């Protein structure tokens, strides 16, 4: 039997939802309008935001980067070491942070033998410094089990993640994201859905409102993007025409096409190459390119 009772919580505890620059998700209503003058800049902002919100190099063991993911990774070992002692149990463990401070992890569960909807993991960062020289992390988040099933050939878990003023003075997260993971003998599918999560930096507050869907098999390693993205307070729709093929060695996609659509039906196809995205603009109703393809920045410059 696939034994993922501990794996389910450990997997999600390894997720760090961090914020870098770029655009964000926003209003559910599409309001943005493409022109030949702005399509490349808007596409770069959207591509940067998507790359910031999720791993586009390999499995999303860490979503985003930075101090948030470091803190959650520290919590992982604590959660794994908590053992079940009986029904309606509440267990708490403190984890010292290498650079100072601590994490307090509390696991609450209803059934001693399996994960149950409603089980929770609460993580509080008490002035945690993951490594010497890292910024101080404060705030908290909760993981809530929504569903769990396991058989000899399949295991699946879904969780809700709610962040409360979690992060550093440079990056702070509030709001909700949903996580699901389905594992079979031949494949794994991971879906992360940001539900209006806000990411605050000293210069701006971003909102993520999109979904990342990963698929892994012996021959496939890919991610698809859907939802909304906002650039300069204008919202665009996101869809995946061809899944982005992921390369763990390079740390970025090497093929595939994401489509950004504006309020009038105009669109930009964001095509992954081995070094950068390229942008091809189609005016509303056009079947041939109106402009492009235009090279975006190198991946490392996004």
Structure tokens at 42: 């808007």
pLDDT above 70 (res 208): yes
Domain edge (last residue) among 140, 167, 194: 167
Separation CA 217–CA 196 (nearest Å): 30
pLDDT given for residue 54 in this prediction: 67
Does residue 52 lie within any of the structural domains?
yes
Q: CB–CB of 244/259 below 8 Å?
A: no
Average pLDDT score over residue span 229-253: 88
What range does the domain containing 219 cover? Answer: 30-60+202-302
Is 4 in the same domain as 40?
Answer: no
Taking CA 55 as the corner, what is the angle to CA 204 and CA 192, rounded to the nearest 5 degrees? 80
Is 51 in the same domain as 67?
Answer: no
Is 50 in the same domain as 137?
Answer: no
Does residue 192 lie within any of the structural domains?
no
pLDDT given for residue 301 in this prediction: 85
Give per-residue burial for 285-297: e unless 16+ CB within 10 Å, then b: eeeeebbbbeebe
pLDDT above 90 (res 19): no
pLDDT above 50 (res 65): no
Separation CA 134–CA 250 (nearest Å): 26
Secondary structure (3-state) at 43: helix
Is the peptide bond preceding residue 58 cis, with omega within 30 degrees of 0? no
Separation CA 50–CA 195 (nearest Å): 14
Nearest to 211, CA basis, from 31, 12, 50:
50
Average pLDDT score over residue span 141-153: 86
Between 14-23, 109-118, 196-205, 269-278, the lowest mean confidence (pLDDT) is in 14-23
Number of domains observed in the structure of the chain:
2
Kindly tell me the sign of the dihedral angle through the C-alpha atoms of 78, 59, 192, 6.
Answer: negative
H helices of the chain, in order, are 5-13, 39-53, 67-81
Average pLDDT score over residue span 229-258: 89
Which tens digit of pLDDT belongs to each residue from 44-63?
989 888 887 765 554 444 33
Is 162 in the same domain as 97?
Answer: yes
Structure tokens at 24: 């964000």
pLDDT above 80 (res 76): no
Is 13 in the same domain as 113?
Answer: yes
pLDDT given for residue 62 in this prediction: 36
pLDDT given for residue 73 in this prediction: 46
- 228 band by pLDDT with thresholds 50, 70 and 90: very high
State CA 20 to chain mean position distance: 12
pLDDT above 80 (res 78): no
For residues 55, 57, 60 and 66, what is the CA-based torsion angle, rounded to 10 degrees? Answer: -50
Separation CA 65–CA 131 (nearest Å): 15
- State percent of the chain over pLDDT 90: 29
Mean confidence (pLDDT) of the chain: 79
Which tens digit of pLDDT belongs to each residue from 81-97?
444 445 557 788 888 88
Which tens digit of pLDDT belongs to each residue from 158-194?
888 888 998 888 888 888 888 888 888 998 888 888 8
Does residue 226 lie within any of the structural domains?
yes
Is 68 in the same domain as 142?
Answer: yes
pLDDT given for residue 14 in this prediction: 38
Is 153 in the same domain as 6?
Answer: yes
Is 46 in the same domain as 4?
Answer: no
Does residue 263 lie within any of the structural domains?
yes
Separation CA 65–CA 176 (nearest Å): 18
pLDDT given for residue 41 in this prediction: 93
pLDDT above 50 (res 227): yes
């Amino acid at each position: 039997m696939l034994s993922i009772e501990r794996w389910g919580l450990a997997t999600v505890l390894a997720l760090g939802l961090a914020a870098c620059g770029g655009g964000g998700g926003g209003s559910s209503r599409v309001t943005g309008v493409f022109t030949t003058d702005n399509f490349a800049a808007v596409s770069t902002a959207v591509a940067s935001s998507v790359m910031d919100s999720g791993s586009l190099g390999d499995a999303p063991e860490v979503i985003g980067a930075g101090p948030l993911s470091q803190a959650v990774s520290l919590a992982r070992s604590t959660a794994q070491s908590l053992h079940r002692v009986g029904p309606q149990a509440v267990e708490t463990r403190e984890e010292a942070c290498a650079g100072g401070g601590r994490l307090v992890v509390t696991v609450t569960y209803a059934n001693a033998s399996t994960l149950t909807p409603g089980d929770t993991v609460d993580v509080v960062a008490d002035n945690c410094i993951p490594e010497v020289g890292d910024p101080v992390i404060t705030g908290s988040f909760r993981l809530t089990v929504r569903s769990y099933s396991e058989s000899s050939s399949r295991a699946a878990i879904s969780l809700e993640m709610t962040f409360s003023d979690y992060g550093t003075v440079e990056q702070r997260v509030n709001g909700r994201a949903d996580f699901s993971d389905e594992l079979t003998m031949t494949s794994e599918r991971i879906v992360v859905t940001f539900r209006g999560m806000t990411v605050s930096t000293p210069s701006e507050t971003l909102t993520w409102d999109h979904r990342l869907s990963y698929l892994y098999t012996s021959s496939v390693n890919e991610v698809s993007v859907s939802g909304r993205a906002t650039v300069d307070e204008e919202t665009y729709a996101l869809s995946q025409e061809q899944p982005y093929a992921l390369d763990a060695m390079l740390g970025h996609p090497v093929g595939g096409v994401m489509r950004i659509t504006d309020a009038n039906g105009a669109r930009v196809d964001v095509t992954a190459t081995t070094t950068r995205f390229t942008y091809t603009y189609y005016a509303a109703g056009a079947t041939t390119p109106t402009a492009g393809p235009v090279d975006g920045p190198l991946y490392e410059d996004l």
